[in-house]
């Protein structure tokens, strides 16, 4: 009798466990991985540091006049760093607000502008800074972008400007104010 009771307990347990595990898998598939999700309003920006969480960035920690700082968004509630996709890399440049075009100034915080750190040509994510012209150049194919004017393409094969990321300052820390203006990354099969 006890063997039968044990068998019934196992069967009943499986009967409850399988539907619950299916529910957990369904929920996991329905919810995007927070590390790969694009920047969300309220995310803090932290310095991108290989292998370790970086520190939250303030206007004072982004050098005035450049060079750019590479950052990742971090969910302010969970602390999850959104570094699961390189398309979440954000390039920050600190400029004089009066030097920014009106469209750029509207998305900036304390003179700091933010753009996708992935070139729209072939997806490179390394940058050369020209402090005199206040421009960035992708060293892969030499596309030059004007960070003062919504990352407009000045030269090279890039087909479009870098997507902008609106910013705010909250509690002294740089935070995301909205999603990317434009699609980060590049179009495969393009020029």
Token representation of residue 94: 């600190």
10 Å CB burial of residue 30 (0-12, 13-18, 19+) is exposed
Q: Are strands 112-116 and 152-155 parallel, antiparallel or unpaired?
A: unpaired
Annotate 123-171 with DSSP letters as a single string: -----EEETTTTEEE-TTT--EEETTTTTEEEESS--SPPPB--EEEET
Give the CATH fold of the 44-176 domain.
Rieske Iron-sulfur Protein (2.102.10)
Task: Give the span between the Cα atoms of 88 and 81, in whole angstroms.
Answer: 10
Domain boundaries, the chain: 1-31, 44-176
Q: What is the chain's pLDDT, residue by residue, as a tens digit (191 residues)?
A: 566 666 456 555 555 444 444 444 434 443 457 888 999 999 999 998 765 667 899 999 999 999 999 999 999 999 999 999 999 999 999 999 999 999 999 999 999 999 999 999 988 999 999 999 999 999 999 999 999 999 999 999 999 999 999 999 999 999 999 999 999 988 765 44
Strands (E), the chain: 44-47, 69-74, 90-94, 112-116, 128-130, 135-137, 144-146, 152-155, 167-170, 173-176
Tell me the pTM. Answer: 0.80
């Amino acid at each position: 009798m006890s063997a039968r009771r044990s068998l019934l307990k196992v069967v009943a347990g499986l009967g409850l466990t399988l539907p619950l595990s299916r529910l957990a898998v369904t929920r996991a598939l329905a919810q995007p991985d927070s590390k790969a999700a694009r920047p969300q309003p309220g995310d803090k920006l932290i310095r991108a540091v290989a292998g370790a969480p970086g520190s939250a960035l303030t206007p004072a920690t982004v050098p005035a006049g450049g060079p750019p700082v590479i950052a990742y968004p971090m969910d302010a509630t969970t602390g999850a760093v959104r570094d699961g996709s390189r398309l979440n890399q954000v390039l920050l440049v600190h400029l004089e607000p009066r030097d920014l075009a009106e469209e750029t100034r509207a998305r900036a915080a304390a003179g700091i502008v933010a753009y996708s750190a992935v070139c729209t040509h072939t997806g490179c994510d390394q940058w050369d800074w020209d402090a005199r012209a206040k421009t960035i150049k992708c060293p892969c194919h030499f596309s030059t972008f004007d960070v003062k004017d919504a990352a407009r393409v000045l030269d090279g094969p890039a087909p479009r400007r870098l997507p902008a990321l609106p910013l705010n300052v909250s509690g002294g820390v740089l935070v995301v104010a909205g999603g990317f203006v434009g699609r980060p990354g590049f179009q495969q099969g393009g020029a």
